[in-house]
Amino acid sequence: QAKQAGRNIYHWYTDDLNREVSHSLRLRSDLQNALDSGDFELHYQPQLSLTTGRVTGLEALIRWRHPELGMVSPGDFIPLAESTGQIAALSDWVLQTACDARRQLLKLDHNLPISLNLSPVLFKDNQLVKHMVRTITENGLRCDQFELEILESVMFGHHDRALTLLNEMRDAGFRLSLDDFGTGFSSLNYLKSLPIHKVKIDRSFVQDLISDQNDAAIVRAIISMAHLLKLSVTAEGVETESQSAFLKREGCDEIQGFLHSRALPLPDLITYLDRTRWQAENDASVTPDNS
Ligand code: C2E
Ligand code: MG
Ligand code: MG
Ligand code: MG
């Protein structure tokens, strides 16, 4: 009977494995067509200042609306695109689309910097920075209106090469942030050597901030360490008022998360920005009466 059970588990396992392999083969071949068919969308998640409560920036997050599978998460297809080399074309599309969005938003008087996630695979390309600068200037925009998010973990092992690139990016005018910060064990000394402007505290520490004393201590330590180095701090994945209040008390500069908004398609983002601006103006106009 045990043997029988073992065999069932084995069958289960191979079925799952087969499903997974064929799923990823399927995605791989579909990825080729998706760019041509316009199946990708770029969504934008607002980042808010904890001091003013206003939107201070947007993070561009890619979405794949697969014709049969529905929404495929970037966590599933970005690694795939990185392994096939398609990430280069994908990133070009993201940058061009973000430039279009930035121009549209400017016309509506929403002057907000856009953050882009930069795949470490692109670091191999010697022309990367030149290429990005060209796209941005051809769109009549400036690099200082864009922020590049680099994974903290990427800096390890390729330190010299990455440092050269980061310096090149900063010299071109880009703002730089370390994404998923806290998961890569950066030392203070190490962080000091990087030409960055901001760290983004990883969502995993924010999630249990209120219930887990260790996470609370880590978040506090990251904020004070970053401020010592004159870096700005954004917390990702903020979902509740109590997380937001904790972060504000500890001096965190900005938050991003479902509490305020998910990543939105451009038309929805515009509605959100118009509404929050209207609220901010109304709040401002009632203040004198209260004082
Ligand atoms: P990331 O850069 O750390 O982005 C933050 C992720 O957290 C996003 O997931 C976002 O939707 C999610 N998030 C934001 N607020 C909350 C919250 O309050 N609660 C929860 N549970 N989640 C929240 P998403 O869009 O699935 O992206 C996952 C990762 O895929 C990103 O992590 C980034 O590393 C990568 N990615 C996304 N777009 C691009 C892109 O255009 N290029 C590259 N190279 N990577 C991308
Ligand atoms: Mg990011
Ligand atoms: Mg992140
Ligand atoms: Mg992440």
Q: Please tell me whether residue 159 adopts helix, strand or coil conformation.
A: helix
Distance from the CA of 117 to the center of ligand 4, in angstroms?
10
For residue 4, the CA-to-ligand 2 centroid distance in Å is: 47
- Comparing 181 with 43, the larger pLDDT belongs to 43
Q: What is the pLDDT of residue 184?
A: 74
77-81, long-range: CB within 8 Å, 24+ apart, which pairs? Answer: 77/27, 77/31, 78/119, 80/24, 80/27, 80/28, 80/31, 81/31
Q: Which two tokens stand for residue 13?
A: 């396992």
Q: Is the CB of 251 under 6 A from ligand 1?
A: no
Confidence of residue 290 (pLDDT cuts 50, 70, 90): very low
Question: Which 8-state DSSP code applies to residue 177?
Answer: E
Read off the pTM. Answer: 0.91
Q: Whose CA is nearest to atom 43 of ligand 1?
A: 117
pLDDT computed for residue 14 by the predictor: 63
What is the per-residue pLDDT for 278? 81
Judge whether residue 281 has pLDDT over 50: yes
Expressed in angstroms and rounded, the spacing between residue 47 Cα and the centre of ligand 3 is 12
Instruction: Give φ, ψ of 45 to 5 degrees.
Output: -105, 125
Picking from 75, 92, 58, 99, the residue whose alpha carbon sits closest to that of residue 264 is 58
What's the confidence (pLDDT) of residue 291?
Answer: 43
Of 287 and 57, more confident:
57
Binding site membership of 139 for ligand 1 (Cβ less than 6 Å): no
64-68, 189-193, 210-214: range with lowest mean pLDDT: 189-193
Residue nearest to atom 17 of ligand 1 (CA): 237
Look at 230 and 193; give whichever has higher pLDDT. Answer: 230
Q: Give all strands (DSSP E) within 160-259, no chain letters.
A: 175-181, 198-201, 232-235, 254-255
Q: For residues 203-216, give the mean pLDDT.
A: 96
Mean local confidence (pLDDT), 225-242: 96
276, 54 contact by CB (below 8 A): yes
Pick the residue with more confidence: 252 or 12? 252
**Local confidence band at 205 (pLDDT 50, 70, 90 cut-offs):** very high
ipTM: 0.98
Closest CA to 231 of 239, 222, 241, 243: 222
What are the tens digits of pLDDT across the range 64-123? 999 888 999 999 999 999 999 999 999 999 999 999 999 999 999 999 999 999 999 999
Pick from 129, 88, 105: nearest CA to 44: 105
Each residue's pLDDT tens digit, 4-63:
555 555 555 566 666 666 777 788 888 888 988 899 999 999 999 999 999 999 999 999
- What is the whole-number distance in angstroms between the Cα of residue 61 and the centre of ligand 1? 6
